[in-house]
Structure 1
């Protein structure tokens, strides 16, 4: 269930259905909603700078870094997918958005609902993008608007798709029964 650390007496609050890889770290003022996946090497560091709020059914892939900035909490709403190696700091990502691998979303920025932030995009501080935007480039800009539904990327795992350590307590995660990695 990852490493959880208190900071100034505040500990992460993680819903029971959340799957956190053993190598992930959650620090301080962090709240994670139901059925979220946090993959290996992810660092979620709340604390002296502010809070982190992660909604339900969010997928955060390997080696992503999430942190607030002074005066700007980090908020990730429901049904968001964040690709590997992304860095999000002090920003707000609205419902159903996809942030692809290696993207940077800097402080006080807001990504509208059901938007797509492209691989390696660099969203500068205080940028605001409307719902259903296709965002890419460095600095990031709107490349277009989504017409149809934004579907979950094929590279993003869902609930039982995450690898689970073989020595895990079989009673610890009833929601993983049937997963080949669960004993």
Structure 2
């Protein structure tokens, strides 16, 4: 089948996208697929996130701005509503997502898009390093980009002060 990635789709390393002949596997605009996920003949909605190592089976649909937790298994034909968290084996709807969680997802996807543009604009061939350089400069990105758990911990700490 066809693999369709719409504008802004982000597919991480070691993902597998596949489908039966005559079917489409689709990632809509700003869909984000985590490392090692498997998509088989399914549709990932606009701004949705599929977590690392999750599996989405045939004819499943992940709704707009929904999140599939890491290592979850979405059964064939499941329709995940928009703006919810699903998790488990098999995946079940756990709860609605907060505006903060959806914003975090959108910001994460934008960071990956920005990194891709930056890489394409600055990439150049260099000789291979024989060994790691002491004090080698690291990639600089916004300090605001951090795991959601760290944001929540910082907010809880600030609320307790």
Q: Give the TM-score taking structure 2 as reference length.
A: 0.67
Kindly tell me the number of residue pairs found equivalent between the two proteins. Answer: 121
Radius of gyration: which is bigger? 2
Q: Which has the higher helix share?
A: 2
Which of 122, 125, 128 matches 2:73?
122
Cα displacement (A) at 1:53: 1.0
Taking the aligned partners of 2:18 and 2:108, their CA distance within structure 1 comes to: 26
Taking the aligned partners of 1:60 and 1:53, their CA distance within structure 2 comes to: 12
Within-5 A mapping of 1:130-169 = 130-148=81-99, 150=102, 151-152=105-106, 154=108, 157-161=112-116
CA RMSD after TM alignment: 2.2
Taking the aligned partners of 1:102 and 1:163, their CA distance within structure 2 comes to: 27
Gap regions ≥5 residues in structure 2: 126-161
Report what 2:14 is aligned to.
63
Matching of residue 97 in structure 1 with residue 48 in structure 2: yes
Q: Give the TM-score taking structure 1 as reference length.
A: 0.60
Gap regions ≥5 residues in structure 1: 1-49, 165-175
Q: Which has the higher strand share?
A: 1
Which of 2, 6, 25 matches 1:74?
25
- Give the 4+ runs in structure 1 shifted more than 6 A: none
Does the 8 A contact of 1:72 with 1:108 survive in 2? no
